[in-house]
Amino acid sequence: MISFNVPPVTGKEIIYMQDAISRNKICGDGYYTKLCNKWIEDTTGIAKALLTTSCTHATELAAILCDIKPGDEVIMPSYTFVSTADAFVLRGAKVVFVDIRPDTMNIDEKLIENAITDKTVAIVPVHYAGVSCEMDTIMEIAGKYNLKVVEDAAQGVMSKYKGKSLGTIGDYGCYSFHETKNYSMGEGGAILIRDAKDSDRAEIVREKGTDRSRFLRGQVDKYTWVAAGSSYLPSDLNAAYLYAQLEVAQQVFDDRMNSWNKYNEAFKYLKDKGVIETPFVPEECEHNAHMYYIKLDNIEERTKFINYMKENDILTVFHYIPLHSAPAGREYGVFAGEDKYTTKESERIVRLPLYYNMGETVDEVISKVYKYFE
């Protein structure tokens, strides 16, 4: 059976976890957490990066930093993972869903302005498949209406928009290091904080509302409870696992890109014949080969395709039942404008196996896809 995903392992994970154990420090903010934070800061140029227990938690932290209150409205696509909405709904916000663009599956930047009301507080662009949203337009709208921007860059580690790393453009950026993402620590994530003035508060909320981070830096004599907070810091064991991968991030990137390009070149023929659609990457975007998907004509075609692949021992998956059509989405959200593409395009998409070190497995998948369309 060819799996849809295999969690990345690059070789030094066990060595670094063993080292974390011998340092007698496996709680949060140990040696490896600091190395990971620094790696993110150095690689992306962000003022401050902090590892978190997940991207969901990074987004929750961002929602707290945005001072989201009950009744506030937050704009996001409906075609996304539940966490994007959960983080804001937990703070009492109403979610306002905006349609996606069919080419990138990202929020349609041209429809955002129409969804803004006097209750709108934030825009949450989701960089689907590690391909950036149209950030210049989004930042311009946010500036005009004085809105916060929280980038859901869960899939966007090592991706860029006009040369800028995803997650560094909005007020806050959220990364995921879940086992299905390009770089992993099992469960984990990071928050990126653009303005240095926000980083003290972020550290405090992440550390149970205490100024422990300042204490550890010797800036205060003892640490105490200074604000409402939670515990969003991962164990240093998980950070050690992640650091092994971040250290060779380019190697993982190149390997995935190689598989992605193989798919894309192989399917050009089917695309040109109008049999399938393949991913579109705008010129100003550098993606990270997080995902390879194809689009079939409709949901019936897709079901047939997935079943055929499964019978041939290849797991392909679809995802994102649009949030506005889910029970919680109906309760906490509203779709602004017309759902022209969200539902229709979500029913056409199917993701092919893509993971680090796939090797020749890519060719097996390609030949089975061709068999199906024969």
Ligand X SMILES: *Cc1c(COP(=O)(O)O)cnc(C)c1O
Which listed range, 13-21, 50-58, 109-117, 269-277, lies at the site for ligand X (CB under 6 A)?
50-58
The residue written with tokens 């696509």 in the block is 77
| Nearest distance in Å: CB 5, ligand X | 11
Phi, psi dihedral angles at 14 (to 5 degrees) = -65, -40
The residue written with tokens 């100024």 in the block is 211
- Binds ligand X (CB under 6 A): choice among 37, 78, 84, 259: 84
- Sequential DSSP letters for 138-206: HHHHHHHHT-EEEEE-TT-TT-EETTEETTSSSSEEEEE--TTSSS--SS-EEEEESSGGGHHHHHHHH
**For ligand X, the closer CB: 189 or 229:** 189
| Nearest distance in Å: CB 374, ligand X | 33
3-state helix, strand, coil in the chain (%, to 5): 40, 15, 40
Q: Which of residues 184-243 bind ligand X (CB under 6 A)?
A: 189
The interface mask with ligand X, positions 152-191, x = CB under 6 A, is: x-xx--------------------x-x----------x--
320 near 81, Cβ under 8 Å? Answer: yes
- The helix or strand, by DSSP H or E, that contains position 236, with its residue range, turns out to be helix 236-246
81 binds ligand X (CB under 6 A): yes
89 binds ligand X (CB under 6 A): no
What is the 3-class SS of 339-368, one letter each residue? CCCHHHHHCCEEEECCCCCCCCHHHHHHHH
**For ligand X, the closer CB: 122 or 369:** 122
| Nearest distance in Å: CB 178, ligand X | 4
Whole-number Cα distances in Å, 114 to 141, 282, 304: 11, 24, 38
97 binds ligand X (CB under 6 A): no
**Active-site position among 148, 160, 181, 368:** 181
Which listed range, 20-28, 79-87, 98-106, 308-316, lies at the site for ligand X (CB under 6 A)?
79-87
**For ligand X, the closer CB: 44 or 53:** 53
346 near 356, Cβ under 8 Å? Answer: no
Alpha-carbon distance 16 to 34, whole Å? 13
| Nearest distance in Å: CB 38, ligand X | 20
- The helix or strand, by DSSP H or E, that contains position 49, with its residue range, turns out to be strand 48-52
316 binds ligand X (CB under 6 A): no
181 catalytically annotated: yes
| Nearest distance in Å: CB 17, ligand X | 19
| Nearest distance in Å: CB 179, ligand X | 9
54 binds ligand X (CB under 6 A): yes
- Binds ligand X (CB under 6 A): choice among 2, 55, 131, 252: 55
Alpha-carbon distance 105 to 267, whole Å? 19
Long-range contact list for 214-223, CB < 8 A, 24+ apart?
216/29
Which listed range, 48-56, 208-216, 294-302, 308-316, lies at the site for ligand X (CB under 6 A)?
48-56
| Nearest distance in Å: CB 372, ligand X | 27
- Binds ligand X (CB under 6 A): choice among 83, 120, 210, 316: 83
106 binds ligand X (CB under 6 A): no
The interface mask with ligand X, positions 260-289, x = CB under 6 A, is: ------------------------------
Alpha-carbon distance 86 to 251, whole Å? 34
Q: Residue 43 half-sphere exposure, CB side, CA atoms within 13 Å? A: 20
Q: Residue 230 half-sphere exposure, CB side, CA atoms within 13 Å? A: 13
29 binds ligand X (CB under 6 A): no
- Paired with 165 in beta bridges are 160
Which of the residues are catalytic? 181
Under the rule (CB under 6 A), what is the footprint of ligand X?
54-56, 80-81, 83-84, 126, 152, 154-155, 176, 178, 189
